[in-house]
Structure 1
Amino acid sequence: MNSFVHKTVVVQLQAGDTDRFSVLAHLSYDAADPFAVTVVFSHDGRVLARWQLDREMLEDALRRPVGIGDVRMRPESRGMWRELRMEFLGDVRSDGGRHHAIVFAWAPALAAFLRETHELVAPGHEEVCVDDFLADILAGS
């Protein structure tokens, strides 16, 4: 049985107050890390950013605003077009500000991806092997 789900979707990166341009979002889910969804944003073959998101938070964001830290998400509608607005705050820049990005994704595409992850590991049935987790931590020290 396959323990991975991958999906690539076109998303819109907001530049300035209103302009948007298309980038790719490569979504991946590994049943061995059942709480996380990895998103790699790329454009013209270059990786722009990589984020690990909480799967449950991503699903909740399709229905209501979530997040108070470096990742904030909320649903938005423009007529019949349903989007997920994702705001990312990154590392501190040399001028003291923080890198900041706003990305808009088509909500039905994300919902379809999440349904595929639920086929691998149903919500509420996530398990983490604590022994393996501790071994990884100790090996890194």
Structure 2
Amino acid sequence: MKSSAFVHRAVVMQLQSGGSDSDANRFAVLAHLSYDIEDPFAVTATFSHDGRVLARWRLAREMLAEGLRRPVGEGDVRFSPRYARGWHELRMDFYGEHRGDGERHHAVVHAWAPAVERFLEESYRVVAPGDEHVEVDGFLSELLANG
């Protein structure tokens, strides 16, 4: 295991506005991707713009990696690879609460896939896929002691 138990990478991504997938309907957001050995199955993505945090999501690291190769996800988070104009992107769909009209809030973010791959490779140097471990016994003891 690498001496550092935390990986962080800031990546400029594009938030898609409106219903069109046109480049004109995208604006830059900064995403802070982080991986912590204390939560070895997850990646935290914090999206910000003009110094304001727009959203923070905990994502399954394995699902994020799979999303670079094929569409994954059925619930609130869905990933799919996109290839256009020589670019390999990761499309991330995030679904939130229901709106008054019955539809759900929906955000689409596009990331340059090689940047996400580099972040994942760094996280694999900290904890290799399949070597994730969660200390369940300590958690259960603490939970039962606190009732």
* TM value normalised by structure 1: 0.93
CA deviation profile, 1:71-95 (whole Å, cap 9, x unmatched): 0110001121110000000122344
- Which residue of 11, 15, 18 corresponds with 2:17? 15
RCO higher in structure (CA 8 A, sep ≥6): 2
Structure 1 position 48 matched with structure 2 position 54: yes
Structure 1: give runs of 5+ residues left out of the alignment: none
SS in 2 for 1:32: coil
Shift of 1:23: 0.4
- Write out aligned runs for 1:58-77 (5 A): 58-77=64-83
Q: Aligned partners of 1:48 and 1:140: how far apart in 2?
A: 34
**Residue in 1 that maps onto 2:38:** 32
Paired with 2:8 and 2:60, the residues of 1 have a C-alpha distance of 16
d(CA) in 2 for partners of 1:86, 1:138? 38
Say how many residue pairs are matched: 141
Q: Match of 1:8, SS? A: strand
Query: How far, CA to CA, are the matches of 2:35 and 2:139 in structure 1?
Result: 18
- One-letter identity of the residue aligned with 2:80: R
The yes-or-no answer on 1:114 pairing with 2:142 is no
How far has the Cα of 1:111 moved from its partner?
0.1
State which of 73, 84, 103 in structure 2 corresponds to 1:97: 103
The Cα offsets for residues 83-137 of structure 1, whole Å up to 9 and x where unpaired, read as: 0000000122344332110000000000000000000000000000002332564
